[in-house]
Amino acid sequence: MAEDSKNKVVIVTGASQGIGRGVALAFAREGAKLVLAARSADRLAQVEEEVHRLGTEAISVTADVTSEHSVQQLVSAAHKRFGRIDVLVNNAGIGKVSGVESETFEDDVHQTMQASLFGMIRVSRHVLPFMRQQGSGAIVNMSSVMGGKSFERFGSYGITMHGVVALSDALRQELAGTGIRVSVVQPALIATDLLRAVDEKEMPLPFRHMTPLTPDQVGRAVVSAARRGTPRVVLPRVANLLLLGEAVSPRVGDFVALALSKPLFARLIGMSDGTTYHQAIGKPHLA
């Protein structure tokens, strides 16, 4: 059953910018109380002020999800301030670009998994005892369409996002009957700084002509997933074509991915309005 988000206590990791900021503001508009976590105190303070202007409560906790002690302090601060934790949005993470044969690939995998997967496990493990005591709660894990279909040069990110989907599926089953729901959100390309340092020519083929989602769009989807307990959300919905093709056969998945790299096809299925990722984030076009 769908639940109102008003006065719910929501922890958002990676809340200082991008998706995390979009999620925090989306919950704030619903009247939720926010616990904002990230490594950048200055950026967190800015988001906290935005939340306050929307008329709801928020605290900022400078936290690094790769640190056990830091996560303990985050969860303790949230519970001490508000007395409960209703929603956890596991959003903190990084992205690396390198080929499998690259000398940096192993390290890229390690760093990405530490921040985006093991950090997620760590925060969830500390939040779950409070949710179990309450007999209710919602955990929303941020993955990607790359959690179902990896792309060249994004192997480290794809490996990690597959792990996030697997974690979410396992945890959802383990928590069945407890009143705690688990969702995983798998967006396609988003207009955040995650890939800002990636040249257009290094972007995965399916993403080169795709119009990115906005953080606000993703934020609204996360609020809905938490409220309804939707097990899996793919954004935009048409991106399910890629995941369905991959489920049928990797060759079919590769074919759909290649088709998405064609501007006309991307427009026809509604994944492009002509605006590219680099245009959306304001980065100069590379010829």
Q: CB neighbours of 253 closer than 8 A, spacing ≥ 6?
A: 149, 242, 243, 245, 246, 247
Given 27, 130, 154, 157, the catalytic residue? 157
Sign of the dihedral through C-alpha 102, 106, 109, 110: negative
Q: What is the DSSP letter of 166?
A: H
Secondary element (H or E) of residue 34:
strand 33-38
3-state helix, strand, coil in the chain (%, to 5): 50, 15, 35
Helix, coil or strand: residue 97: coil
Q: Residue 157 catalytic?
A: yes
Helix, coil or strand: residue 67: coil
Cα-to-chain-centroid distance, residue 56: 23
CB-CB contact of 61 with 29 (8 Å): no
Sign of the dihedral through C-alpha 152, 249, 164, 275: positive
**Which sequence positions are flagged as catalytic?**
157
